[in-house]
Amino acid sequence: MLEVLMLLTERMAIIVTVAFILTRTQAFKRTIDLKLNNKTKIILSFIFGGFGILGTYAGIPVSSSQSFLLWVPGVNQLYFDYALANLRTVGVVTGGLLGGPLVGFGAGLIAGGHRLLLGGFTALACGLSPMFEGIISGLISKKFEKGRIVSAQIAFLTGFFMTIIHLTFILFLSQPYAKALDLVEVISFPMIIDNSIGAALFIAIIKTLIQEEDRIEANQAQKILHIADTMLFHLQQGLNHRSARELIKIIYHATQVSAISITDHEKILAHIGVGSDHHIPGNVILTKATEEAIHSGELSIVKSKEEIDCNYPYCTLAAAIICPYKKGNEVMGVLKFYFLDPKQIKPVDIKLAEGLGKLLSHQLEVAEAQKQSKLISLAEIKALQAQINPHFLFNSLNTVIALIRTNPDVARDLLVQLGSFFRQNLNTSQNELVTLQQEIEHTQAYLNIEQVRFHDRLTINFNVDSGLEKVLIPPLTLQPLVENALKHGLKDIPAGGVITIELQNALDKVKVTIRDNGIGIPAYKINNLINPKNFSVQTGLGLNNVNQRLIGYFGSKAGLKIENCPEGGTKVYFELPFTKGDGDARQDINSR
Q: What is the pLDDT of residue 404?
A: 77
Which of 254-263 are b and which e, b meaning 16 or more Cβ less than 10 Å from the residue's Cβ?
Answer: bbebbbbbbb
Q: How far apart are CA 180 and CA 170, in angstroms?
A: 6
Q: What is the pLDDT of residue 72?
A: 44
Distances (CA, A) of 280 to 26, 208, 266, 274: 39, 45, 13, 11
Q: What is the pLDDT of residue 513?
A: 95
Q: How far apart are CA 497 and CA 489, in angstroms?
A: 9
Each residue's pLDDT, cut to its tens digit, for the chain (592 residues) gives 777 788 888 888 888 899 889 888 878 877 877 667 888 899 999 999 999 999 999 888 776 544 444 444 444 443 345 567 888 999 999 999 988 999 999 999 999 999 999 888 888 999 999 999 999 999 998 888 766 788 899 999 999 999 999 999 999 998 888 888 888 888 888 899 999 999 999 999 988 888 887 777 677 667 666 766 676 666 666 678 888 888 888 888 877 789 999 998 889 999 999 999 999 998 888 888 888 888 888 999 998 888 888 888 889 999 999 999 887 778 889 999 999 988 888 887 888 888 888 878 877 777 666 666 665 665 555 555 555 555 566 666 666 676 676 777 777 777 777 776 666 665 655 447 888 998 888 888 888 877 777 767 788 899 999 889 889 998 888 988 888 888 888 877 778 889 999 999 988 899 999 999 988 888 777 766 766 555 444 445 567 778 888 887 888 888 899 999 888 889 999 999 888 765 444 444 333 3
Q: What is the pLDDT of residue 533?
A: 54
Q: How far apart are CA 148 and CA 33, in angstroms?
A: 10
Q: Residue 504 burial (CB < 10 Å; 0-12/13-18/19+)?
A: middle
Q: What is the pLDDT of residue 248?
A: 85
Which domains are seen in the chain, by residue range?
2-216 (1.10.1760.20), 243-345 (3.30.450.40), 371-591 (3.30.565.10)
Q: What is the pLDDT of residue 266?
A: 86
| Kind plus residue range of the DSSP H or E element containing 308 | helix 305-308
> Of how many residues is the chain composed?
592
| Kind plus residue range of the DSSP H or E element containing 8 | helix 2-23
**Could you tell me which of 33, 132, 48, 119 has the C-alpha nearest to residue 84?**
119
User: What SS3 class is residue 327?
Assistant: strand
Q: What share of the chain is helix, strand, coil (3-state, %, to 5)?
A: 60, 15, 20
The structure's pTM equals: 0.48
Q: What is the pLDDT of residue 393?
A: 62
Q: How far apart are CA 369 and CA 345, in angstroms?
A: 35
Q: How far is CA 181 from the centre of its chain?
A: 60
Q: How far apart are CA 541 and CA 501, in angstroms?
A: 21
The side-by-side arrangement of strands in the sheet containing 561-564 is 458-464, 497-506, 509-516, 570-577, 561-564
Q: How far is CA 359 from the centre of its chain?
A: 11
Contacts by 408-411, CB closer than 8 A, 24 or more apart:
410/452
Q: What is the pLDDT of residue 422?
A: 65
**Could you tell me which of 374, 367, 306, 364 has the C-alpha nearest to residue 333?**
364
Q: How far apart are CA 168 and CA 125, in angstroms?
A: 9
Q: How far apart are CA 38 and CA 50, in angstroms?
A: 18
Distances (CA, A) of 334 to 262, 285, 316, 360, 362: 6, 11, 20, 10, 14
Structural contact between residues 510 and 503, judged by C-beta atoms closer than 8 angstroms: yes
Q: What is the pLDDT of residue 103?
A: 93
Which of 484-503 are b and which e, b meaning 16 or more Cβ less than 10 Å from the residue's Cβ?
Answer: bbbebbbeebeeebbbbbbb
Structural contact between residues 35 and 221, judged by C-beta atoms closer than 8 angstroms: no
Q: DSSP state, 341?
A: S
Structural contact between residues 433 and 586, judged by C-beta atoms closer than 8 angstroms: yes
Rounded (10°) CA dihedral 233, 236, 238, 241: -40
**Could you tell me which of 44, 34, 29, 344 has the C-alpha nearest to residue 212?**
29
In terms of phi and psi (left: phi > 0; alpha: psi -120 to 50; beta: otherwise), the region of 145 is: beta
Q: What is the pLDDT of residue 551?
A: 84
Q: How far apart are CA 117 and CA 2, in angstroms?
A: 29
Q: What is the pLDDT of residue 506?
A: 85
